[in-house]
Structure 1
Amino acid sequence: MKFENIKSEVKNIINSNENRDEKLIRICQLLQDSISYYNWVGFYFANHENKTLHLGPYVGAATDHTVIPFGKGICGQVAESNANFVVPDVSAQDNYIACSFTVKSEIVVPLFVNGINIGQIDIDSHVIDPFTEADERFLEFVTQEVATLF
């Protein structure tokens, strides 16, 4: 499915009468179902006092990484850098927290509310180097839409 088609579905979910977590899980499911190389899709949310990220709604394999310190792994680095992070091949990353041997690549895009990085969307893929600039722009759109829920 083309990103443009998915955008309207994301907006429909955002505007639905469900609660925030239900909307987030539906967005995760939509992305995983619509994009073949999105094999794990989830949100992490920041606790700035403790400098930790906490796993929110997600779809895909279960993970032990429910709390991630800022700076650790790809997600933790995005919490500090406030920038998108695309990892074409996780085996080439020094500061990577392995979730599963099936994960070959990852993309993380921060979620800003009023200029503050409150979390991120994290996507793992079982394919090496599938993410393009189009994925980044699309996921920036998704995080902008999700930001309206906070």
Structure 2
Amino acid sequence: MTDSKQYERLIKQTEALLMGENNLIANMSNVSALLNETLEDINWVGFYLYEQDELILGPFQGKVACVHIPLGKGVCGTAAESLESIVVPDVNAFPGHIACDSASLSEIVIPIVKDNKLIGVLDIDAPIKKRFSDHDKHYLEQVVTYL
């Protein structure tokens, strides 16, 4: 698990990394790399961008992934539709879970919202159950505010 001090350092790194850069794709690329290097026990981290009533795969680190996710479908689509972060301790127990990688057992999805409009979501998967908590959610919500 990632403790508060590690997350606080991650937030400072994120802020420094993105300072002065306005390109969303470049920033998402660097944030996904930073999260992949920093977070333990994860097997996929990346972004989906909201376009034409669906989520489209954006910058990520990990195995190949689903490209299109309809709003309201799976963990990502549900978080995007509700504009609420979702922590899933066991993806196999989540109704309508979309299995892009069968090795993923838990997941966290953080919506990215600006001016009350959905931009996309941060999606992180783990190969162990119960990897993510409200503690992770709290800090990852802060990370996405820099995007």
TM norm. shorter chain > 0.5: yes
Which consecutive unaligned segments of at least 5 residues does structure 2 have?
none
Matches within 5 A, 1:34-53: 34-47=38-51, 50-53=52-55
Matching residue's letter, 1:120: V
The answer to whether residue 19 in structure 2 is matched with residue 15 in structure 1 is yes
- 1:56 corresponds to which residue? 58
Q: Following the alignment from structure 1 to structure 2, what is the Cα–Cα distance between the partners of residues 18 and 60? A: 24
Partner of 1:130 in structure 2? 131
Deviations 1:33-85 (A, max 9, x none): 111123211111112xx31111111111111x111111111111112111111
SS in 1 for 2:145: helix
Q: Which runs of 4+ in 1 moved over 6 A?
A: none
Q: Which runs of 5+ in 1 are unaligned?
A: none
- 2:74 aligned partner: 73
Q: Provide the TM-score with structure 1 as the length reference.
A: 0.89
Query: 1:15 offset after TM fit, Å?
Result: 0.8
**What value does the CA root-mean-square deviation take over the aligned residues?**
1.5
Pairing partner for 1:25 from 22, 26, 29:
29
In the superposition, the TM-score normalised over structure 2's length comes to: 0.91
Q: Deviations along 1:94-119, whole A, 9 cap, x unmatched? A: 21000112100010011011111221
8 Å CA contact 1:109, 1:140 repeated in 2: yes
- Aligned equivalents of 2:21 and 2:70: distance in 1? 33
What SS class does the counterpart of residue 95 from structure 1 fall into? Answer: coil
The equivalent residue for 1:112 is: 113
Corresponding residue pairs, total: 143
Counterpart code for 2:61: V
Partner secondary structure for residue 78 of structure 1: helix
Say whether the 8 Å CA contact 1:51–1:69 is kept in structure 2: yes
**What does residue 10 of structure 2 align with?**
6
